[in-house]
Amino acid sequence: MISFDVVTGWFAGLNVSQELIVPLSVATELVLTGAIAAVAYYLVRWLLMVIVRRLVEHTPTTWDDDLLNDAALSSVCRMVPPLLFMYVLRDMSAHAGWVSWLIKINEVYLCITVIRVVCAVLRGVASHLKHDGRFDTYPVQGVYQMVKLLVIVLGSLVCLAILISRDPLAVIAGLGASAAILSLVFKDTILGFVAGIQLSANNMLHEGDWIVAPAFDADGDVVSIGLNTIKVRNWDKTVTTIPTYSLITGSFQNWERMRDFGARRVKRSVLMDVNSVRFLSEDELDSLVADGYVAEDIKKESRVVNLRLFREYVERYLDGHPAVSRIDGTTTMARQLQPTSAGLPIELYFFTATTEWVRYEHIQADIFDHLYAVVGRFGLRIFQSPAGADFSRPSTLL
């Protein structure tokens, strides 16, 4: 690097006017420094982006790929020019007072570059932790955004301190009086950060979970957990954005534990016509026994109600169905609910052996198809409100 005194000596030897020596020397020094800085920038960029990047790609570990990403290496390269200018400008400031503003601008640019380097490294750390299965239960994205925000805020305060020629610590301390205003401005960010910690600590939510949040019409998989918002891709392929803290202050349903359990509940009723409930005759019992719908020992009883036999048949049918789960903790039963004006509900309560949506729907449809087809063998009728076609055929109502 050429000394400023040497440059001024060149112009003095050329018999240049004394008023022009310093401005010409400053301009020449800046041009020469800019040329050297450009060469140094591309040289460092080649070393980092080509050599270092190739070395990183050939290592067996993956963490260095995330930390030394292209954004971080590119930001490091941008630190070279301001570092060179810092040395030159400080040498010139003794000869030209206005150069102090160039020093401040150069230092602000260097501070911004450092902030970008730190943010790029933080992004690499977050990316590595996100792909590491050991940190799936932690709000990595939310913590990354919070730390990044703090780095940007502190860096901005340092830049402000440089421009007003004050100690950065004094500027930060001076903001203590306005803490109430800052807490109001960053209220959502603070609430989101606290909510993210609570969601993680209580193991309440992870990316990929299926959740239902009725207050926001959200029903789908969680695709992103951020500092301020959570994105849910609904089953109709739309995306719902939910404030992170609202999941703590409100309520939501997480279906992922159902998937982990490996069984999904069916709770659905068949409405029976109360007028069809009656005692079965001996001939009807013999017919049911012969067809295998009831056990042989049922004929020892007297005055057997058809609805009771139907419920017992439903439970035996569910117990023997290959698609009904038999995992410990699951319940299988057919129970009678309170009669209504729409009939007598016989509720089937059981769990399917799969949680896959389409298969789940097919299983319960097949089971109820069978029950609708077999209910007539017990002398029962499914309740159905009469329609116009029924009134046109009066015999069907008898």
Distance CA 168, CA 129 (A): 32
Which residues does 363 contact at the CB level (< 8 Å), separation at least 6? 266, 323, 324, 352, 354
pLDDT band at residue 271 using 50, 70 and 90 as cut-offs? very high
More confident residue, 102 or 315: 315
Specify the pTM: 0.56
Write the pLDDT tens digit of every residue in 160-201. 888 887 777 776 666 665 666 666 666 777 777 777 777 766
Distance CA 279, CA 262 (A): 41
Cα 353 to Cα 69, 256, 269, 363, 366: the distances in Å are: 45, 16, 20, 9, 14
Bridge partner residues of 265 (DSSP):
351
Write the pLDDT tens digit of every residue in 23-40. 666 667 677 777 877 888
Write the pLDDT tens digit of every residue in 286-316. 888 888 888 888 877 878 999 999 999 999 9
Q: Is 67 in a helix, a strand, or coil?
A: helix
Q: Helix count (H) and strand count (E) of the chain? A: 17, 8
| Sheet hosting strand 210-213, strand order edge to edge | 239-243, 229-234, 218-225, 210-213, 253-254
pLDDT over 90 at 49, yes or no = no
Write the pLDDT tens digit of every residue in 208-256. 889 999 889 999 999 888 778 889 999 999 999 998 888 888 888 888 8
**Inter-residue contact 139 to 199 (CB < 8 Å):** yes
Kindly tell me the burial class for residue 366, based on how many C-beta atoms sit within 10 Å of its own C-beta (0-12, 13-18, 19 or more): exposed
**Inter-residue contact 115 to 79 (CB < 8 Å):** no
225: which DSSP letter? E
Q: Which two tokens stand for residue 391?
A: 């009134």
